[in-house]
A and B are shown apart, each in its own frame.
Chain A
Amino acid sequence: MQSKKIIDDFCHLIGKDINIMEVCGTHTVSIFKSGIKSILPNNLKLLSGPGCPVCVTSIEDIDKAIAYSMLDDAILTTFGDMMRVPGSDMSLYEAKAEGARIEIVYSPMECLKIAEKNKDKKVIFFSAGFETTAPLTAATLVEAETRGIDNLFVFSVHKLVPPALRLLLQSGEVRIDGFILPGHVSTIIGSKPYEFIPEEFSIPCCITGFGAEDILLGITMILKQIIDNKPTVDIQYKRSVKPEGNIKAIEFMNNTFSVCDSNWRGIGVLPQSGLKLNEKWAHRDSEKVFDIKVQSKPEPKGCQCGLILRGIKTPPECPLFAKFCTPEHPVGACMVSSEGSCSAYYKYRLQ
């Protein structure tokens, strides 16, 4: 295979240890599924970063979502991925089993139908996800306004990818020589928001597609930047990603949300790393419309998710991994979602 030989030769030319981090859960899964790690030379290591919005949703936000679902006359709507994320005492799935009104939607647009069908209820959409998903919620709110659907509200726990990468780099806890950047987040935001990475930290980046061939080429483009000593933000995934991103989606996002501090599970509060509804949408913002208080428990003892999300430890280095923490009974964030690194490790490495 020619691509393998080129990667081998590039790594030989570089002649030192190289750490490349992927920051998207879909990449993590694709890397495991395809067995890419097994063909890479010894001095090239792939690390998984904080790449799954399900995993980084805080315990407090899950507790709040459950509290909303238990309000009188409320229906909480959510993506299916969020159902099994453990809160302090239970997950949304368990809350539903106990009678809470929770409906799974495939698209935020489905919330409109649910709201129209249940005019006497308050429909609260638990809006999680990175920049890929936020514009969808924005467009749905605009549609609700146009159609006069007044009983739809949003609980926004959206997170932003670039600020998390900045924190990783500023902490200096792990050496990163290159970033495989997410393909679909970047379809929305383009390449500009990552430019601080090569400019301020001299670290090569490549926005990469999700097939095994895409990832191999993305890695090679990063290696070439290292060889040439010209760090930049390359785009391998050109069939979907434009440098300017999706201007229309960005506009929807900017008109609806404002940037806020956000609590990342396992990591803590990161400044300016999340999205909340802006003032114009206060009447749809669940945090402003409904008065709920939650008392959340700290993250479980022994759980190493924080270190795993930052690439400092690998899942098998966690004392809970595969013993007390499994995909069926997840303790920590990274085991919860099928795109979390612990879950991917469990599924593909232990087989």
Chain B
Amino acid sequence: MCLAIPSKIISIDNLMATVDVMGARRDVSLILLPEEADVGDYVLVHAGFALQKIDEETAQESLKLWREYAEFLEKEAMYEDT
């Protein structure tokens, strides 16, 4: 029920936008969007409304966390060895 899908803004007309949702075009309302969005931005769409602009570069952030955890475990292992 709470499914929301990342969609790319194709065009904007006042508080409505046409977005591309996995190849299909849909009209969505921008009225609930907390910040301004431009053509080309990705927004999270739920039942005809854009809810949030989607930030990029999070893949990097995830990798950074995994690396931190691996390093933490290495230190733990060293501690256990001594």
Contact = CB atoms under 8 A, between A and B. Distances in A.
Interface of A: 2-3, 6, 9-10, 13, 24-26, 52-54, 79, 81, 106-110, 128-130, 132-133, 135-136, 139, 143, 182, 184-185, 187-188, 213-214, 217, 220-221, 224, 236, 238-242, 246-249, 252, 337, 339
B8 to A, nearest CB: 14
B60 to A, nearest CB: 11
Nearest to A161: B2
Given A182-B2, A249-B51, 4 more contacts: A79-B1, A109-B48, A184-B51, A188-B51
Nearest to A338: B1
Query: By CB atoms of chain A within 10 A, which of B3, B48, B69, B70 has the most?
Result: B69
A130 B2 contact: yes
A107 B66 contact: no
Contacts of B31: 139, 143, 248
Interface of B is mostly: mixed
Contacts of B62: 213-214, 217, 236
B29 interface: yes
A302 to B, nearest CB: 26
Nearest to A81: B1
Contact of A2 (B2, B3, B48, B66): B66
Contacts of A217: 62, 65-66
Interface residues of B, number: 29
B2 A248 contact: no
A53 B76 CA distance: 42
A187 B44 contact: yes
Contacts of A129: 1-2
Given A26-B2, A246-B51, A133 B46 contact: yes
B34 interface: yes
Contacts, number: 117
B61 interface: yes
B51 A107 contact: no
B39 interface: no
Interface in B1-43: 1-4, 29, 31-34
A247 B48 contact: no
6 contacts: A9-B73, A79-B1, A133-B46, A139-B29, A139-B32, A224-B72
Contacts of B4: 132, 184, 187, 240
Contacts of A133: 1-2, 46-47
Nearest to B49: A136
- Sorted nearest first, the 4 A-B pairs with minimum C-beta distance are A107-B48, A132-B2, A184-B2, A239-B58
B47 A107 contact: yes
Contacts of B46: 132-133, 136, 184
A78 B4 CA distance: 18
Contacts of B29: 109, 139
